[in-house]
Structure 1
Amino acid sequence: MTTVFPLLRLPYLVLMPILEQMELMEKISLSILSKRARMFLKLLKMKCEHINLKLNGDRLEMTVVFNNSEELKMDMYIYRTKEIGLKYGHDYISRWPGTLTPMDYVLPIMDVTHCSSIKQFTIASVSKYDTLSFLAKLPKINEVIVEESPLPKVLKIILPVSSAVTIIFTISVYADKPKYLREIFKGNLDAVTVREYRVSIMPNRDMMLSPNDLRMTNAKMLSLPCTFFKVKDVNRYFKLWMKKKCNDRLEYLRVTTGRWLKKIKINKLLKGLNAVQIPIRTDKTFRVLGNIKQFNSEDSNEEITSEFDITRADGRQATIRISNFGTVCFYVWPESTDDTTNIEPNQSSFTRKFSRLSSFYNSFIERFK
């Protein structure tokens, strides 16, 4: 007969050294048991680098990556076996019957590792059973990756708590559901990326969206595949940007118009923009969503072939970069400036503000002399 040891009833000065000596997996397992255990474990300040979630049918997979590269993985079966599996790397540490919803296990682990948001939430597939109801408890998500058709229920639950969406689809999945993409385009997201697994080299006309769909986008960063818009549609969007009649939040747009963009198509792309061709600088970088961004591609044969600057009537500037594969990158400068790059924040505005503050301070002191 085994006797249960009342660990949490130990005095604080005795309990904390015991918790510190526990293995990482033991601490995480203990944090799920009760709020009281989690309260003490939080004092150990275990901090993770990031947390990823993946919904794969009736299984929710959780990966916790710590600063020392250690990984904790959990498999939570939602309806089939209602089982929780705790893994360290690829080896199972323990299994136990799951009496709670998956999020009731995810949230305590996020709490004890001081993680306020999920880095990536991937929807690989959705079970025929109701596996989406537990998503209502989802905290903030930095990026949602949808590997199959975006479902209305998923969008309704996930979009309000996410700042970025990446959609990966095949032609057959997307062709009859463009309305879901339109809903994402209109969302107040920081970044929207659409990746396409092409079944055929030829563009599918059923997948083409209208210029109004591009106009209604509201994301700060937008990346789209080639079957969405024609060159003349992208040109029309640039003209709307010049007139301040489209998304004013836009910082970066990437559109793949098709391989080998010929000179005649480049002329159509730049028509009416008063674009000025500038020398190509491979080291030129821009700030997108606060991060340094540079033109790069997974294909080593893709390179920048031409670069142009355009300027709006209010002085706002943007750069259009075109690759030999027909990729068009549109970078909007954060504010009007005479510099040719916006890597560093504008120091002149800071200097002006500091000068005004200094003048105000000096005048204030003079009154008391």
Structure 2
Amino acid sequence: MATAFPLLRLPYLVLMPVLEQMKFLDRSVKTCMISASITIGLSLLSKRARIFVKLLKMNCKHIDLILTGNRIVMEVFFDNSEELRVLMYTDKCQRINFIYRDMMSISWFPGSPLPIDYAFSIMDVMHCKSIDKFIIVKISEHDCLPIIAKLPKIDEVVVEHDWPDVISYEEYFQTEKQLLRVLRTVLPVSSAVFITYQFQNSNHLQEILKGNLDAVILKHSDNYITLNDLSITNAKILEIHTGKLDERDLNHYFKLWMKKICNDRLEYLEVRTYGKISMDLLLDGLNAVPVRIDTKKTFRVLGNVKRFVPEDLFEKMTREFDITRVDKRTATIKISNYGNIFFLRLARIY
């Protein structure tokens, strides 16, 4: 029987050139990626191995985690547009697979450590300090909370949850409660949430809105949003797609802002109402001052001073007004040709 080669027992000056050969060199992309996956896999064997692999200074553009059913998919994106996928299963087996271009390169059953511990090792050797996106596609039938409770900083949580096989409201409600448990676990370590899911229970959505997040984006237009929901938010950036809020609601909200009663952190608000806007109802009692559309202004969004530019190239601003708060802070209300309403707090330039 062949004897295993004691790689990690090699002297440092010999070991490092060997590991360098597994790094990204001027070889074919396929060979590079397989070598990279082997190198990353090597780092999972022990703390000593991870220390040596980390010295190679391998880097990635960003790392995403996707929760889909009974597995967490780790996607490592490299500068050369290539991607390494690591499948971490949350069931009893807790096996882990490395995949490149749908081709299995490494597969084993790790044993006692949680799958997320291996994700931490990969992030460490890739010098990645945070997860770019944690995407929730499907809630697992297995309890994944012990795994995701250990996650580090997350830049953005994305909820794409959909349950086409759920046939009753009670079943839907119970699954949504599981989703909320996951969100309660990951949102405290995140700064933003992007939701395309339609919540069936308004209390579940309110719990998210009350969180201390920098950005909350609700893309599903069927989520039932009320003036009370809007007034309890604490986000710096708030984007809502809804047909439920009308001009009276937004007028009342702007008055609360002017009196410093709600969300002093608000820097940017976007409400897509999908309807025609009544300017009289929207601006009633705001003492709004009309402003020329081409007036150049700067706004502060998450600490950055920038110009306002709509994402849609065909969306144009048709009306613009300034309102002033009791502490003399000024904000601008913009109305687009699509009937969308934007609120932007003006930056103080020193």
TM-score for the superposition, normalised by structure 2 = 0.85
Following the alignment from structure 2 to structure 1, what is the Cα–Cα distance between the partners of residues 37 and 46?
16
In the alignment, is residue 169 of structure 1 matched against residue 197 of structure 2?
yes
Following the alignment from structure 2 to structure 1, what is the Cα–Cα distance between the partners of residues 39 and 315?
48
In the alignment, is residue 222 of structure 1 matched against residue 222 of structure 2?
no
Counterpart AA for 2:186: I
Instruction: Quickly say closer, same or farther: Cα 1:282–1:147, change in 2 above 3 A.
Output: farther
Name the residue aligned to 2:322. Answer: 309
Name the residue aligned to 1:160. Answer: 188
Q: Which of the numbers 39, 58, 63 marks the counterpart of 1:51?
A: 63
TM-score for the superposition, normalised by structure 1 = 0.81
Q: State the Cα deviation string for residues 95-141 of structure 1 (Å, max 9, x = none).
A: 22242322011110011111111010001010222233211111010
Following the alignment from structure 2 to structure 1, what is the Cα–Cα distance between the partners of residues 339 and 67?
35
SS at match of 2:61: strand
Name the residue aligned to 2:103. Answer: 91
Q: Which of the numbers 338, 344, 350 marks the counterpart of 1:325?
A: 338
8 A contact 2:231–2:263 mirrored in 1: yes
Counterpart AA for 2:129: S
Following the alignment from structure 1 to structure 2, what is the Cα–Cα distance between the partners of residues 154 and 121?
11
Q: Which of the numbers 157, 160, 174 marks the counterpart of 1:144?
A: 157
Q: Which of the numbers 209, 219, 232 marks the counterpart of 2:248?
A: 232
Q: Which of the numbers 267, 272, 280 marks the counterpart of 2:280?
A: 267
SS at match of 1:189: coil
Name the residue aligned to 1:105. Answer: 118
Name the residue aligned to 2:310. Answer: 296
Instruction: Quickly say closer, same or farther: Cα 1:105–1:214, change in 2 above 3 A.
Output: same
Following the alignment from structure 2 to structure 1, what is the Cα–Cα distance between the partners of residues 204 and 129?
28
**Identity across the alignment (%):** 51
Listed as ranges, the gaps of 5+ residues in structure 1 are: 199-203, 336-345, 350-369
Instruction: Quickly say closer, same or farther: Cα 1:141–1:228, change in 2 above 3 A.
Output: farther
Name the residue aligned to 1:16. Answer: 16
SS at match of 1:169: coil
8 A contact 1:231–1:257 mirrored in 2: no
SS at match of 1:33: coil
Q: CA RMSD in A?
A: 2.1
Task: Report how far residue 81 of structure 1 moved.
Answer: 5.5
Larger Rg: 1
Task: Report how far residue 260 of structure 1 moved.
Answer: 3.4
Task: Report how far residue 257 of structure 1 moved.
Answer: 1.7
Following the alignment from structure 2 to structure 1, what is the Cα–Cα distance between the partners of residues 119 and 256?
45
Instruction: Quickly say closer, same or farther: Cα 1:326–1:136, change in 2 above 3 A.
Output: same
Following the alignment from structure 2 to structure 1, what is the Cα–Cα distance between the partners of residues 88 and 59?
22
Task: Report how far residue 212 of structure 1 moved.
Answer: 2.2
In the alignment, is residue 287 of structure 1 matched against residue 300 of structure 2?
yes
Q: Count residues with an aligned counterpart.
A: 321
Following the alignment from structure 1 to structure 2, what is the Cα–Cα distance between the partners of residues 281 and 293?
12
Name the residue aligned to 1:82. Answer: 94
Following the alignment from structure 1 to structure 2, what is the Cα–Cα distance between the partners of residues 190 and 212?
19
In the alignment, is residue 252 of structure 1 matched against residue 242 of structure 2?
no
Instruction: Quickly say closer, same or farther: Cα 1:304–1:87, change in 2 above 3 A.
Output: same
Name the residue aligned to 2:164. Answer: none
Task: Report how far residue 282 of structure 1 moved.
Answer: 9.4
Q: State the Cα deviation string for residues 257-296 of structure 1 (Å, max 9, x = none).
A: 22333xxx12211111111222223986633114546332
Task: Report how far residue 83 of structure 1 moved.
Answer: 2.9
Following the alignment from structure 2 to structure 1, what is the Cα–Cα distance between the partners of residues 302 and 244?
24
Name the residue aligned to 2:143. Answer: 130
Following the alignment from structure 2 to structure 1, what is the Cα–Cα distance between the partners of residues 4 and 286?
77
8 A contact 1:54–1:60 mirrored in 2: yes
Listed as ranges, the gaps of 5+ residues in structure 2 are: 23-34, 162-175
Q: State the Cα deviation string for residues 180-223 of structure 1 (Å, max 9, x = none).
A: 22111111111011111x5xxxxx6xx53332221111111011
8 A contact 1:259–1:324 mirrored in 2: no
Name the residue aligned to 1:6. Answer: 6
Counterpart AA for 2:117: D
Instruction: Quickly say closer, same or farther: Cα 1:210–1:68, change in 2 above 3 A.
Output: same
In the alignment, is residue 116 of structure 1 matched against residue 129 of structure 2?
yes
8 A contact 2:89–2:96 mirrored in 1: yes
Q: State the Cα deviation string for residues 222-252 of structure 1 (Å, max 9, x = none).
A: 1111234222111111111111111111110
| Greater Cα shift, 52-61 or 283-292 | 283-292
In the alignment, is residue 62 of structure 1 matched against residue 86 of structure 2?
no
| Greater Cα shift, 236-245 or 89-98 | 89-98
Q: Which of the numbers 195, 211, 232 marks the counterpart of 2:219?
A: 195
Following the alignment from structure 2 to structure 1, what is the Cα–Cα distance between the partners of residues 147 and 296?
46
| Greater Cα shift, 130-139 or 232-241 | 130-139
Following the alignment from structure 2 to structure 1, what is the Cα–Cα distance between the partners of residues 307 and 70?
37
